[in-house]
Structure 1
């Protein structure tokens, strides 16, 4: 089906059987890169459509944030006719993505083995809380669960205080990104092997991978990392400082040259010769004393004044912005990182955009997230060959559903 989109993945067809954040975020990445994404939803719609508090045309902002550049097809997978429709669709697609608990797709007759027996070129990606193997594989999971279980929450917040959830849903988003990467790797391999792959992505695994050097520190030393608070546990001049106007300023003076320049820029050149701070190792040992000196100095002037001074000295620094200021920044606008989507009914929605930029971006405009069942008839007609009578019969049986203008979205009920 010609979607009119351009991009490196133009021509790649993806069946998206995911909901909430992890899967939809990953498939949206593929859609932004030009793939055709067909989202399969239950008759009541995926649950993210009803997440409060913000709604447009009955769909939540939560849903709108991760479902652009997709088509919606409503199929009741709990019926044998519905499951068979997906089996038939999968023979025409390159990728299938799902984020149910392990075993759910097999019980529906839609597991990897069955679908790849029909279509050996299919790349089948399963995103779950804990993966398809292991003692925890059957446990339920959400973003905060894997943040907690990975140790990530123990690193977030101030020492002596309760652990803090990361402000962005990194447990979901990281799994979606790793899922997209796994799919792309399998598609590249398929060019030479001629066969698809099963891609198993665990939300917990993704968080463990993102422990990065914190995990390596523990594995090498046996020392358990502490909460990071406002800074870095290895570089004391990599930290947020509160300035005289109450605004926080992040300073990342992480080389000897930057340390010397920082001392000059804040009017404390004598610190360079202080034996407590002569090199990175001694500064780390005496970090509390150093923080007290710098914090007192930064409180002498407003944040913007300090930012100007540090920028002039080529010391990396930034104001801690609220979300509204970040999204309205000139750099963000220049990079087209806020995307405006327009619905057929005339609604305008702005959402964060795709950070992957190419030298030739193409000319296709991002499409508004689909209404529930907006593309049911056209997709099933194109790929399964169903005519109007067959579609009408399936709709009367409750197997499929086609959106019609004026039909309320399931999100309306949740407000």
Structure 2
């Protein structure tokens, strides 16, 4: 948490309520961000199993999959069957007092329950209602389900990921889902500001496909400018050189030379090769890119001749971006990770304690909330229903009818 002399104020979304009808990753990632920012997030789950990712393991912590744990901190779980009229009535009651609702059912899928935006806007005109789908409601592919792997393929990302002479690769984490979750959180916050301004909510139509296209960034822009399909460069960069993975004598390093001055220093001071710095083929980044193979051949031979520590120490001393290739474990246990408070140990109702990756949002005066463990299925059902006006007898009757699930203990 960022240190500040100012007394911390409440988290930015303190006092706001979010209904989370989403599952798996994109929607839950969005609502987790809102929960970190202080909103009360009510995760509405099917009593028969809950979020699919609860079972996506191993590994598990006391029966809870690590996959589920990564995207559901700072939430409360309500195990509710809203396929039945009684469950629908409960959700409408909760929506009447909610600020934001996030769902990722197939386009139009909640309409048959009377839980679509048009229906709930009649109950709560201020409601910000965010739908997350694969291709968007206004798409010829609106009925098609959205899967991160497919979106990475169809959205162009795989075509530029992987070795230059090999097959297209997906990214090692579900980035299309995560892009969409982050963008959806931004959209929800903007919708909330608009609702505060004029008292009217709105429907937000978020698509994994759109988010993936937007995140093509410079690669997408390069195609639009040139009309040429971008190539794959493995760990290299299409338009910056040298910017790649190299084998040193005893390990691998990444070098990210960002400008011509850095290249001159790299060649003259570290490689002891002033001839490379003076070579007209390598004088500027643009010509280095044109002569990629010739330069990389020289660099790989030189870098392989000295240990990684020599290169890392020398580049850091001379202000040249570089880094060692770490494993996930090495990254999560690095001193800078600890200094930034990015791994947190928190109590868990079944496992005793678990470790979670923390929020990257660091506020000086309105810090994110202290992380709470992702909830057990139905853990907060009684609390949420009581807050909505249901007494013990009514809750017991809902549980007996299977509308509300028993909390996992």
Class of the TM-score when normalised by the shorter of the 2 chains: over 0.9
> 77, 80, 83: which one pairs with 2:88?
83
Q: Does 1:31 align with 2:35?
A: yes
Aligned to 1:199, the other structure's residue is in SS state strand
Q: Does 1:366 align with 2:371?
A: yes
Query: How many residues matched?
Result: 399
Supply the distance in 1 between the matched residues of 2:346 and 2:212 (Cα, whole angstroms): 31
Maintained 8 Å contact 1:375/1:402:
no
Supply the distance in 2 between the matched residues of 1:404 and 1:221 (Cα, whole angstroms): 57
Q: Which residue of structure 2 aligns with residue 149 of structure 1?
A: 154
Report how far residue 351 of structure 1 moved: 2.0
Distance 1:358 1:106, change over 3 A: same
Q: Does 1:55 align with 2:44?
A: no
Aligned to 1:401, the other structure's residue is in SS state coil
Supply the distance in 2 between the matched residues of 1:248 and 1:392 (Cα, whole angstroms): 61
Give the ranges of 4+ consecutive aligned residues of structure 1 lying more than 6 Å apart after TM superposition: none
Q: Any stretches of 5+ residues in structure 1 without a counterpart? A: 406-415
In the TM superposition, what are the counterparts of 1:102-141 in structure 2 within 5 Å? 102-141=107-146
Q: Which residue of structure 1 aligns with residue 22 of structure 2?
A: 18
Aligned to 2:110, the other structure's residue is in SS state helix
Deviations 1:241-294 (A, max 9, x none): 11111x221111111111111112222222111121122222111111100100
> 163, 166, 191: which one pairs with 1:161?
166
Aligned to 1:104, the other structure's residue is in SS state coil
> 231, 234, 241: which one pairs with 2:236?
231
Aligned to 2:193, the other structure's residue is in SS state helix
TM-score scaled by structure 2? 0.95
TM-score scaled by structure 1? 0.94
What is the root-mean-square deviation of aligned Cα atoms in Å? 1.4
Report how far residue 160 of structure 1 moved: 2.3
Q: Which residue of structure 2 aligns with residue 261 of structure 1?
A: 265
Supply the distance in 2 between the matched residues of 1:137 and 1:34 (Cα, whole angstroms): 33
Report how far residue 347 of structure 1 moved: 2.0
Q: Does 1:395 align with 2:399?
A: yes
Report how far residue 361 of structure 1 moved: 5.5
Maintained 8 Å contact 1:265/1:313:
no
Q: Any stretches of 5+ residues in structure 2 without a counterpart? A: 1-8
Supply the distance in 2 between the matched residues of 1:242 and 1:363 (Cα, whole angstroms): 41
